[in-house]
């Protein structure tokens, strides 16, 4: 069955009400397009468990800061449609700006703010970003209705924000996190990797090497967050292609609080610039049981 494409909220709602009425489960994969195999794996996970799989493509202006790459963000709906269909999506929802924000983004009067987990790291470096994400995801959840939604762990803090929002607002959506898909050299797949030259793409794998170094230390029993962060920073410093580092962090995976000492499960996260791209990545690590 060929994938169906909608751009109107009312048309998508009518279709999803109908398929739910006939007993089908709905999987939702929200994206900003420029789909790659990481998105493909989310769509595959959704299609393994739901008869109806909706991939949404919307570059959401609310989550970009004034000096960020909203205009430059890669767009290509034909390629997105082909990848989504090959991965098992049954519907592609690609609304225009006016459909999502009648009157434009500046006319929006209601936004969603998730406190706490949005404060550090991405929240500190990209003011307003998570309000934009939470607002558009709340809208997509309201449009889709009861469903299971799939998000990548690559944006680990975003996943925590979306989980918290869905729980706090009693939205009828189950949020599922899926593992990061990596290039052969370890670089996490991202639409923003398109900004990199081949050489930068090879060298950017240093970010994953730094995370693995941190994970090895934690799993070897290192309990000092500072020691783990410094070791990760040293690995990043060994590669000149990393022009600046926004953060190197060790946090509690649920609250994003910084632990005084590492015991149990933590998340290691990095945000750094390589060439024209700002890249983020993370891994989980567990300290050995005492
Ligand atoms: O991860 C993304 O691509 C976006 O932040 C999302 C969740 C689709 C919201 O615009």
Tell me the per-residue pLDDT of 33-43, one tens digit each, with 9 for 90 and over: 999 999 999 99
Residue 1 scores a pLDDT above 90 = no
Cα 43 from Cα 178, distance rounded (Å): 10
Backbone angles phi, psi at 12, to 5 degrees: -65, -45
**How far apart are the CA of 186 and the centre of ligand 1, in A?**
22
Residue 118: DSSP 8-state: T
Residue nearest to atom 5 of ligand 1 (CA): 133
The SS3 call for residue 151 is: strand
Segment 183-196, tens digit of pLDDT? 999 999 999 999 99
pLDDT tens digits for 146-186?
Answer: 999 999 999 999 999 999 999 999 999 999 999 999 999 99
Angle at 154 between CA 240 and CA 249, to 5 degrees: 60
290 band by pLDDT with thresholds 50, 70 and 90: confident
CA of 230 to the centre of ligand 1 (A): 31
Closest CA to ligand 1's atom 1:
31
Report residue 148 as tokens: 């299971």
User: pTM for the complete prediction?
Assistant: 0.98
Coil/strand/helix, residue 176: strand
């Amino acid at each position: 069955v060929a994938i169906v494409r909608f751009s109107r909220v009312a048309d998508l709602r009518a279709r999803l009400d109908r398929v739910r009425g006939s007993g089908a489960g709905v999987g939702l994969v929200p994206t900003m397009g420029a789909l790659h195999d990481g998105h493909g794996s989310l769509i595959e996970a959704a299609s393994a468990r739901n008869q109806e799989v909706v991939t949404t493509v919307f570059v959401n202006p609310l989550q970009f800061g004034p000096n960020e790459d909203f205009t430059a963000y890669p767009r290509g709906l034909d390629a997105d449609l082909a990848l989504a269909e090959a991965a098992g999506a049954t519907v592609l929802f690609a609304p225009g700006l006016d459909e999502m924000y009648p009157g434009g983004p500046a006319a929006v009067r209601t936004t969603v703010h998730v406190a706490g987990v949005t404060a550090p790291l991405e929240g500190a470096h990209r003011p307003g970003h998570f309000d934009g994400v939470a607002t558009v995801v709340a809208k997509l959840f309201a449009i889709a209705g009861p469903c299971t939604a799939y998000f990548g762990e690559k944006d680990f803090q975003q996943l925590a924000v979306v989980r918290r929002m869905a729980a706090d607002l009693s939205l009828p959506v189950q949020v599922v996190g899926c593992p990061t898909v990596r290039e052969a050299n370890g670089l996490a797949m991202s639409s923003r990797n398109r900004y990199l030259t081949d050489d930068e793409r090879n060298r950017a794998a240093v970010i994953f090497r730094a995370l693995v170094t941190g994970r090895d230390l934690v799993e070897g029993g290192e309990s000092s967050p500072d020691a783990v962060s410094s070791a990760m920073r040293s690995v990043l410093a060994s590669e000149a292609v990393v022009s600046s580092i926004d953060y190197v962090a060790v946090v509690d995976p649920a609250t994003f609080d910084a632990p005084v000492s590492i015991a149990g499960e933590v998340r290691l996260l990095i945000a750094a610039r390589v060439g024209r791209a700002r890249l983020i990545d993370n891994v989980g690590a567990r300290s050995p049981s005492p």
